[in-house]
Structure 1
């Protein structure tokens, strides 16, 4: 019997270590400990249990995750996050889903370590969701969207974008915040987070980004009338 070392080949098999821990605690899987106290699991058993979870999911039906993100806690306090979630719901026929879960993040779309995004990716790997709905591409990530789309599709998860781009007036504002967060990170490393030079650089960059956003609005203005 082929045994899989704990953590080894798990990524290849699409299994999260927490899933193995859950199976171990429930007594669902055989565990062999080496003299160095490392755990080994039968690869055939891992595949069998994964198959059972997939069958269970198919019996339960479609499991939808609605994902929304805002860039700052101030936006969340103003109710922007709740409005984004409701906007997604209004675009979907929720009756066709057997399970609906809301997952959200507060943070930059440039941050690839967001808790909510990581949770969705784990669920996709563990075959516990079937669909993910977002409002715009940049709500999931500012860059590398197609990599994430390919990742979800490779795990049998359908990724849905429910709205057309840039119908929302706050998108430019959020893009400015995302770009400013990049400058803040790099200038903090260069000058130190409490340095006066760091603060001056941030203010100048924010002013320049605001000028670009205002110019964009002026250019769009005449065309709209």
Structure 2
């Protein structure tokens, strides 16, 4: 099974590149791919239908291996927990491009991701408030 995810629809080219890269990797290793799941949505959103269907199949014991490009393409935070969860049901997550980072580099990347996520949410709230204000002004 191949799983590839991007955060926004604007990243569809990246999604195709991830999928092509993972398929090439698996073909080179002689791995037969049973299914390719592609997903567009935040790695912090635990309500993604395809991702939850994937986890349901893990729990049912239907998946032996999941091939992903990077851990954050599977889940933004808590990858180690999800990897352990999958292992309990006999599923191995194979990270093809696993960067080797020092603990300081990992922490820095996590902090940058947190700042990015909150800045996006803040921007979304400003846009939402502006929309409400514009709606009030148009009714007057």
Superposed pair shares fold, TM > 0.5: yes
Q: Which runs of 5+ in 2 are unaligned?
A: 101-112, 133-140
Tell me which residue corresponds to 1:75: 11
RMSD of equivalent CA atoms: 2.8
- Answer whether contact 1:137 1:161 (CA < 8 A) is retained: yes
Which digits, 9 at most, give the CA deviation of each residue in 1:70-92, with x for residues without a partner? 1111111xx22111101112222
Tell me the matched-pair count. Answer: 119
Q: Which runs of 5+ in 1 are unaligned?
A: 1-64, 167-174, 199-225
Change (3 A) 1:116 1:194: same
* Counterpart secondary structure, 1:108: coil
* Counterpart secondary structure, 2:30: helix
Which digits, 9 at most, give the CA deviation of each residue in 1:168-200, with x for residues without a partner? xxxxxxx58644444356x37xxxx631399xx
Equivalent residue in structure 1 for 2:50, among 99, 105, 116: 116
Tell me which residue corresponds to 1:95: 30
**CA displacement at 1:165 relative to structure 2:** 3.2
Structure 2 distance, partners of 1:110, 1:182, is: 12
Q: Hey, which bits of structure 1, 4+ residues long, moved more than 6 A?
A: none
Higher relative contact order (CA 8 A, sep 6+): 2
Structure with larger Rg: 1
**CA displacement at 1:157 relative to structure 2:** 0.4
